[in-house]
């Protein structure tokens, strides 16, 4: 595909929505034929049954209620590996730091990463540091990569999703995006909304150990649950139907979202994932998730209702009608992770 001189990158290209999906599909996938573009990590079955991922973190502000850019970088990387049905093992970290950044803050971030890595049972084993001039880096950016051992014979993929699968969300949604937005907008909430940033690998391991093998799992980060469901529906060519009243949302999150004119389904999370399981495994899966901190409100929110060659996501409303849930378009919440 050719590009004109007037075509430029916009903030929407990093939002996790429609523009980003087109960038991946039309540019990256064409240039990199081995790219596994439908997942946040790659399966490397011919190299010791491994999963591999890379990620970058540019969140603003770098300190937010419930976390900071350091713990977020570890959690986000660990979760991408876990969503492939793999056990995170080793991780690299690269810091891009703006000249003048306070060493005290850097020390806090580094130790936050160390604590998060310990709790996530992953080892940080290599890294890099680059410093850019004042005004060129917005404080600090972090890039990570990680590998993990596959715990299943084949990575769960969207194409394994089938009619009748139940859809589960691992906890209440929208916390991370609203925690960021409350700080960004100078809102003093009582109680404050805390980010849900957390590792998901223990949850996944517990599910697999109980012989539940999801058809597909995705952490609902940029673009939220709506983006995840639309991505999977398109790849699997299915109609996904959820019920609005069954989607768990904290009342403070819902209230702030309404004030800001946002739909919780489109708001970023950093410690929640969506999984598709066979109907007979659904209740057992929810009960497992509810034993974990952050999973207390895990719930079945819908099912795969049928085949649809274009991919379709709809929601049954509180009034009983059915409405489409679209892939987020344009700039949603900038620099949320």
CA 167 to chain centroid, in Å, comes to: 16
Name which of 277, 174, 253 is nearest 220 in CA terms. Answer: 174
Q: Do domains 38-150 and 158-324 have the same CATH topology?
A: no
Query: Right CATH number for 158-324 from 3.40.50.20, 3.90.650.10, 3.30.565.10, 3.30.70.1290?
Result: 3.90.650.10
Name which of 46, 33, 82 is nearest 221 in CA terms. Answer: 82
Instruction: Compute how many other C-beta atoms are within 10 angstroms of the C-beta atom of residue 237.
Output: 15
Q: What's the burial of 29, exposed, middle or buried (CB within 10 Å: 0-12/13-18/19+)?
A: middle
Torsion sign, CA atoms 205, 207, 209, 212: negative
Instruction: Compute how many other C-beta atoms are within 10 angstroms of the C-beta atom of residue 133.
Output: 9
9-28 in b/e form (b: 16+ CB < 10 A) is eeebbbbbbbbbbeebeeee
Per-residue pLDDT 10s for the chain (337 aa) are 677 777 887 767 666 667 777 777 778 777 877 767 667 777 776 666 899 999 999 999 999 999 999 999 999 999 999 999 999 999 999 999 999 999 999 999 999 999 999 999 999 999 999 999 999 988 999 999 999 999 886 666 788 999 999 999 999 999 999 999 999 888 888 889 999 999 999 999 999 999 999 999 999 998 999 999 999 999 999 999 999 999 999 999 999 999 989 999 999 999 999 999 999 999 999 999 999 999 999 999 999 999 999 999 999 998 889 999 998 876 666 678 8
pTM for this entry: 0.89
Instruction: Compute how many other C-beta atoms are within 10 angstroms of the C-beta atom of residue 197.
Output: 27
Kindly indicate whether the domain formed by 38-150 is annotated with CATH number 3.30.450.40: no
CA angle 121, 171, 272 (to 5 degrees): 50
Name which of 214, 201, 199 is nearest 152 in CA terms. Answer: 214
The DSSP bridge pattern shows strands 123-132 and 238-243 to be unpaired
- pLDDT value at residue 331: 64
> CB under 8 Å, gap of 24 or more: what pairs does 113-116 form?
113/70, 113/71, 113/73, 113/74, 115/71, 116/70, 116/71, 116/74, 116/75, 116/199
- pLDDT value at residue 155: 61
Structural domain spans, the chain: 38-150, 158-324
């Amino acid at each position: 595909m050719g590009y004109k001189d007037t075509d430029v990158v916009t903030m929407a290209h990093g939002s996790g929505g429609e523009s980003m999906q087109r960038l991946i599909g039309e540019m990256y996938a064409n240039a990199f034929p081995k790219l596994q573009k439908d997942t946040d990590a790659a399966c490397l079955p011919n190299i010791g049954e491994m999963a591999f991922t890379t990620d970058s973190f540019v969140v603003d502000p770098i300190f937010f209620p419930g976390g900071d850019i350091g713990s977020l970088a570890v959690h986000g990387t660990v979760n991408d590996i876990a969503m492939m049905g793999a056990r995170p093992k080793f991780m690299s970290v690269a810091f891009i730091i703006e000249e003048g950044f306070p060493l005290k803050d850097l020390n806090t971030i580094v130790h936050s990463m160390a604590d998060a890595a310990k709790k996530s049972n992953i080892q940080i084993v290599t890294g890099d540091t680059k410093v850019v001039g004042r005004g060129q880096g917005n404080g600090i950016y972090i890039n990570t990569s990680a590998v993990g051992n596959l715990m299943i014979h084949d990575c769960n993929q969207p194409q394994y999703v089938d009619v009748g699968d139940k859809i589960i969300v691992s906890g209440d949604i929208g916390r991370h995006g609203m925690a960021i937005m409350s700080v960004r907008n100078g809102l003093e909430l009582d109680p404050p909304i805390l980010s849900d940033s957390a590792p998901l690998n223990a949850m996944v391991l517990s599910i697999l150990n109980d012989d539940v093998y999801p058809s597909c799992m995705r952490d609902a980060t940029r673009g939220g649950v709506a983006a995840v469901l639309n991505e999977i529906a398109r790849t699997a060519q299915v109609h996904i139907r959820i019920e609005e009243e069954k989607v768990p949302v904290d009342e403070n999150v819902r209230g702030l979202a309404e004030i800001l004119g946002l739909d919780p389904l489109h708001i970023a999370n950093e410690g929640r994932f969506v999984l598709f399981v066979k109907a007979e495994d659904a209740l057992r899966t929810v009960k497992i998730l509810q034993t974990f901190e952050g999973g207390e409100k895990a719930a079945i929110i819908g099912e795969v209702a049928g085949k649809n060659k274009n991919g379709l996501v709809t929601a049954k409303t509180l009034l009983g009608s059915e409405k489409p849930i679209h892939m987020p378009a344009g700039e949603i919440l900038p620099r949320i992770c």
